Amino acid sequence: MLLQKVKQNRPEINQEDLTRFLIGLKMFGEVVLENRDNEFFNQFSPLVKEMMMTLKGKKS
């Protein structure tokens, strides 16, 4: 689970804050993905991808 992985790599982050952040990011990412043909939302797509790569430990 992503929460456990991030918590393991970043123990200084409060679990409640991390949980709220990941839920918000998931919801935000879903809206961006569902509206990828919309210019407004499409501009956030690279940022969401970069954030997810960082969270999953695939980018430093």
2-42 confidence digits (pLDDT tens): 899 888 888 999 999 999 999 999 999 999 999 999 999 99
Residue 6, Cβ density class (10 Å: 0-12 exposed, 13-18 middle, ≥19 buried):
buried
pTM comes to: 0.80
Residue spans per domain, the chain: 2-55
36 backbone dihedrals φ, ψ, rounded to 5°? -65, -20
- Reply yes or no on whether the pLDDT at 60 is more than 80: no
Q: How far apart are CA 30 and CA 4, in angstroms?
A: 21
